[in-house]
Amino acid sequence: MDLASPLLELVKGLWGLVSKPLGYIYNLKDNVRTLDKANENLKASSEDVKAKVEREEEGGGARRTNQVENWLGEVQEFEGRVDQVLQEVREHDRIKCLSRCLPRNCWSSYKLGKRVDQLLNEVRELQHMKGEINDFTSLLPPPRQVLNTPLDKTVGLDGSLNIVWKWLVDKKETTLMRRINEKLSHANHGFEVVIWVVVSKHVNEDSIRDTIRKKVHLLGEVLSKKKFVLLMDDVWAGLELSQIGVLHSSLENESKIVFTTRLEQVCHHMGADETFEVQCLTPKEALALFENNIGKSSIHSHPEIQELANNIVKECKGLPLALITVGRAMAGRENPDEWKHALTTLRNNPYKLSGMVEEVYHILEFSYNSLNDSIVKLCFIYCCLFPEDYPIRTDSLIELWIGEGLLRDTNDVYSMRYKGEYVLRTLEMACLLESGHDDYEGRHVKMHDVIRDMATWIARDRGKKETNC
């Protein structure tokens, strides 16, 4: 007996070491069935929770708690891992791992059985977690209809604002859009939700959808039940509304979408019902905007500076972007010689003026880069050869393009003329050329001075060369 007791303890210890691994193998089929059934129950439970949460969110006064959000995410991730294991089980050969029936895949059966056992423990834990959730949703405070954004003093936008505002209230990131957003925050406009989105050059549809979701806590069908106005600022490419969570049926309840863009073709792509071109500022408005960015104290610090400031404003030709940039560059400068230098630089080499390349040319250059056609780009650069404010007759310009070989991809003169018209319209739609007509010049185009300066800068290899163009 004395020898038998230690031997018995040894056998028990060895059995304890091998019983669990053997259990992974022997119980694999039963555990798989148990896991499959538990996973189906968990899936049904998560769908019930999700449906309940979505019903309460659709009411607009509640949102899912973080606890529920995390639990649903963990369940979804768990279901993916279970599906993978069950797929491996289906592909696994018949498992028999004992004595003479020991197959070659005993080790893989052990590993698979261990994973199934771990998943069984996880599904029990997830079911336990669900039982500890007290509240699936929490009440929301009444949402503010419009998010107030900081707004600098604006100049020359009242006329444009009134036109766009009329489109909004009739039943039928630009500063202008910020003014509209500001007015919506104070006016009785009848919209239930106002959403502001800055789109920018690189369109991120996921980011736009996220902005809408945060504003109304829902998407798609629920948004279609509300009367909303969506303000999209600085759109550079056509957007499919359905891809950002706005269904066409949403617009049947007098909801409105307003967007700003620098490219006319974006308006056509998105099927805009109304379009409005924001004009350059009048001389009075331009001076006011310039003074807002420089400070009247600097302008009145010396008798000569007022006249120099007027001349600098004239060089900017009413373009707000240039007026703001040059104004900031001259802020705090009270020596007339500095102003004379700035005026000379602006007239001869404007790209050398502080901020002009980074804050003006790089923005305008994106319109140039969006042309996506080397021939159109060359035709645009060619126009900087004409003097400032020069009305370029369109028929003469096309003949010059043909003569320079820019349109010679065919020997057919008529085809080249047709292509010339296409290039002209492309440049007009990109707002790189301004179209006009008068009795003396007939149909003509012009380059805004700042656009011409940008074209010259590009022709000079972004300012690295001094003699081109």
Predicted pLDDT of residue 291: 86
Highest mean pLDDT among 21-35, 160-174, 434-448: 434-448
Q: Regarding beta strands 442-446 and 392-393, do their DSSP bridges make them parallel or antiparallel, or are they unpaired?
A: antiparallel
Q: Are residues 453 and 363 in the same domain?
A: yes
Q: Are residues 129 and 177 in the same domain?
A: no
Domain coverage including residue 164: 158-269
The mean pLDDT of 437-444, rounded to a whole number, is 77
Predicted pLDDT of residue 237: 76
CB atoms near residue 446 (< 10 Å): 19
The token duo for 255 is 């909801």
Number of structural domains, the chain? 4
Q: Which residues, at least 6 apart from 130, have a Cβ–Cβ distance to it below 8 Å?
A: 45, 49, 71
* 94 falls within a domain: yes
Domain boundary among 213, 239, 269: 269
Q: Are residues 114 and 26 in the same domain?
A: yes
Handedness of CA 365, 370, 372, 373 (dihedral sign): negative
Q: Which residues, at least 6 apart from 467, have a Cβ–Cβ distance to it below 8 Å?
A: 460
- Check which CATH number belongs to the domain holding 344 and give it: 1.10.8
6, pLDDT greater than 60: no
The mean pLDDT of 118-132, rounded to a whole number, is 84
CA nearest 174: which of 262, 243, 287?
262
Sole residue written with tokens 């599904």 = 123
CB atoms near residue 211 (< 10 Å): 19
Q: Are residues 256 and 365 in the same domain?
A: no
Kindly report which listed range (109-113, 163-167, 259-263, 276-280) carries the lowest average pLDDT score: 163-167
Residue 300 φ then ψ, to 5°? -95, 10
Q: Are residues 25 and 135 in the same domain?
A: yes
**Higher pLDDT, residue 360 or 253:** 360
* 455 falls within a domain: yes
Q: Are residues 212 and 260 in the same domain?
A: yes
CA nearest 228: which of 205, 210, 246?
246
Q: Which tens digits make up the pLDDT trace of 18-69?
A: 456 666 666 777 888 888 888 888 888 888 888 887 777 766 567 778 788 8
Q: Which residues of 206-293 form beta strands (DSSP E)? A: 228-235, 256-261
Predicted pLDDT of residue 398: 93
Predicted pLDDT of residue 376: 92
Predicted pLDDT of residue 442: 77
- Check which CATH number belongs to the domain holding 455 and give it: 1.10.10.10
189, pLDDT greater than 90: no
**Higher pLDDT, residue 368 or 97:** 368
What is the residue-averaged pLDDT of the chain? 75
Q: What letter does residue 248 receive in the DSSP assignment?
A: G
The mean pLDDT of 168-196, rounded to a whole number, is 65
Q: Are residues 342 and 303 in the same domain?
A: yes
Q: Are residues 195 and 262 in the same domain?
A: yes
Q: Which tens digits make up the pLDDT trace of 345-356?
A: 888 888 888 888
Amino acid letter for position 459: A
Q: Are residues 130 and 27 in the same domain?
A: yes
Predicted pLDDT of residue 159: 65
379, pLDDT greater than 70: yes
- Distances in Å between the alpha carbon of 309 and those of 63, 315, 327, 350? 55, 10, 9, 15
* 8 falls within a domain: no
- For the entire predicted model, the pTM comes to 0.52
**Higher pLDDT, residue 8 or 387:** 387
* 170 falls within a domain: yes
Predicted pLDDT of residue 212: 62
339: helix, coil or strand?
Answer: helix
* 20 falls within a domain: yes
316, pLDDT greater than 80: yes
Q: Are residues 315 and 416 in the same domain?
A: no
Predicted pLDDT of residue 187: 60
Is residue 393 very low, low, confident or very high in pLDDT (cuts 50, 70, 90)? very high
Q: Are residues 199 and 230 in the same domain?
A: yes
Q: Tell how far CA 249 is from the center of its chain.
A: 23
Residues of the chain with pLDDT > 90, as a percent, come to 7
Predicted pLDDT of residue 202: 57
* 150 falls within a domain: no
Q: Which tens digits make up the pLDDT trace of 259-288?
A: 888 778 888 888 888 887 777 888 888 888
108, pLDDT greater than 60: yes
Q: Are residues 135 and 35 in the same domain?
A: yes
Q: Is 209 exposed, middle or buried (0-12, 13-18, 19+ CB in 10 A)?
A: middle
Domain boundary among 212, 242, 269: 269
Q: Which residues, at least 6 apart from 403, have a Cβ–Cβ distance to it below 8 Å?
A: none
* 67 falls within a domain: yes
* 353 falls within a domain: no
Distance, CA of 42 to CA of 126 (rounded, Å): 8
Q: Which tens digits make up the pLDDT trace of 191-234?
A: 777 777 777 655 556 666 666 665 555 455 455 667 777 888 77
Amino acid letter for position 378: L
**Higher pLDDT, residue 143 or 277:** 277
Specify the length of the chain in residues. Answer: 469
Predicted pLDDT of residue 239: 76
Domain boundary among 327, 348, 369: 348
